[in-house]
Amino acid sequence: MAKRIAVLMGGRSAEREISLISGAAVADALIAGGNDVTLIDVGPGVAAELADCKPDVAFNALHGRFGEDGCIQGLLETMEIPYTHSGVLASALAMDKPTALTLFAEAGIRCPEGVVATWDDARKGGAMAPPYVVKPTNEGSSVGVILVTEDGAIDDLAGDDFPEKVLVERFIPGRELTVAVMGGSPMGVTEIKPAAGFYDYQAKYAEGGSVHVVPADLSDVVFEACMNTAAAAHDRLGCRGVSRADFRYDDSQDGATGVYLLEINTQPGMTRTSLVPEIAAANGMEFGALVDWMVEDAGCQR
């Protein structure tokens, strides 16, 4: 049945450009399915725009802060508009990396050791012995992530490039893996092979920056460990709809002991070549069917 759908996209986060691409791809699929679609580039007037178009559902194609951290979800709850992806609490928990890691540890999920430190301590190497990774505590899509392999490696970077507090995590050598979760069930594992070096923002989005191997070439034990851990993490935070769990796999260790969860993404990319649509396609679900499922799954917390 056709619906009136508002696609929320753009916004003001560091991931604005990727969100615009996700939103356009989603809108094309929804229009092809016969829906009445309004595209909203989210700004201060978003509440008025939503009130004007009176959608049956809001498809949240925002990435990063405001769109992925519980803020837009709270607005949609207040306006009683069903929306895709996770609710207010799960979104806020997943976006605050230190809080999410604490909850994962309490559930027995293996994650890299990490500490919250000042940018100055991280820059000078006072938070942890290298190699380690420095990342903002509340950004997505590898925004601002730096790999430090030796003392003083980032000493010359300007402090203005980072917030006052950052998350410093032990670097896990090995392979980059990701798992799509749909309605609480894991769909498959992808290995991401950066063209050069570390899987940072450039490797994630630049043309030719990485190669995706779907499904990942893993032992059954490691494959199942990734799938089960992704589902457990999704459940632990109370996520809804589609999420994506990112992992590092140290293949020098025995079996599943080398699998480390990095984070949960509650608003994964939704271009036709993004990781979640790729995994869905490998399972026989075309992009339009995936988008339709997400719309049907939309809801509010009330």
Catalytic pick among 35, 241, 269, 274: 269
Determine the pLDDT at residue 156. Answer: 47
For range 42-70, the mean pLDDT: 96
DSSP string for residues in 119-159: HHHHHHT-SSPSSEEEEETT--TTTT-EEE-STTTTTTS-G
Please give the domain boundaries of the chain with CATH numbers for all domains.
Answer: 4-84 (3.40.50.20), 94-111+173-266 (3.30.470.20), 114-170 (3.30.1490.20)
Bridge partners for 245 per DSSP? 179, 264
What pLDDT digit, counting tens, does each position of 271-301 carry?
878 999 999 999 999 999 999 999 999 998 7
Catalytic pick among 244, 248, 249, 274: 244
Say whether 263 is catalytic. Answer: yes
Distance CA 87, CA 64 (A): 15
Helix, strand or coil, per DSSP, at residue 184: coil
Cβ neighbour number for residue 85 with a 10 Å cutoff = 26
DSSP state of 265: E
Cβ neighbour number for residue 276 with a 10 Å cutoff = 26
Say whether 205 is catalytic. Answer: yes
Angle at 16 between CA 112 and CA 58, to 5 degrees: 95
For range 140-164, the mean pLDDT: 63
CB 284 within 8 Å of CB 273: no
Specify the residue for token string 């989603």. 26
Say whether 207 is catalytic. Answer: no
Say whether 141 is catalytic. Answer: yes
Catalytic pick among 10, 11, 13, 15: 15
Say whether 265 is catalytic. Answer: yes
Instruction: Please state the pTM of the whole predicted model.
Output: 0.90
